[in-house]
Amino acid sequence: MLRFDRTVSSEVPAAPSRCIEVLADIESYPDWSSLVGGIEVLERGADGQPQKILMRTELLGLSLTMTCLLELGDDRAALRRLPHDGAGDEERFDAAWTVRPSGAGSTVALHVAAALDAPSAIGLLGGRVAKKLVDDLLGDFRRAI
Distance CA 27, CA 10 (A): 23
pLDDT at 126 over 80: no
Look over the chain and give the mean of its residue pLDDT values, rounded to a whole number: 88
Distance CA 90, CA 142 (A): 32
The percentage of the chain sitting over the pLDDT mark of 90, rounded to a whole number, equals 66
Q: What is the pLDDT of residue 83?
A: 86
Question: What CATH number should be reported for the domain holding residue 90?
Answer: 3.30.530.20
Domains in the chain, number: 1
Angle at CA of residue 129, ends 105 and 144, nearest 5°:
30
State the average pLDDT over residues 14-19.
96
State the average pLDDT over residues 44-67.
88
* Model confidence, pTM: 0.86
66-123: pLDDT as tens digits? 999 999 999 999 999 998 776 677 788 899 999 999 999 999 999 999 887 765 545 4
Distance CA 114, CA 1 (A): 10
Residues of the domain holding 108: 2-144
pLDDT at 65 over 50: yes
User: Which of 51-60, 62-71, 102-111, 120-129: highest mean pLDDT?
Assistant: 102-111
Q: What is the pLDDT of residue 121?
A: 47
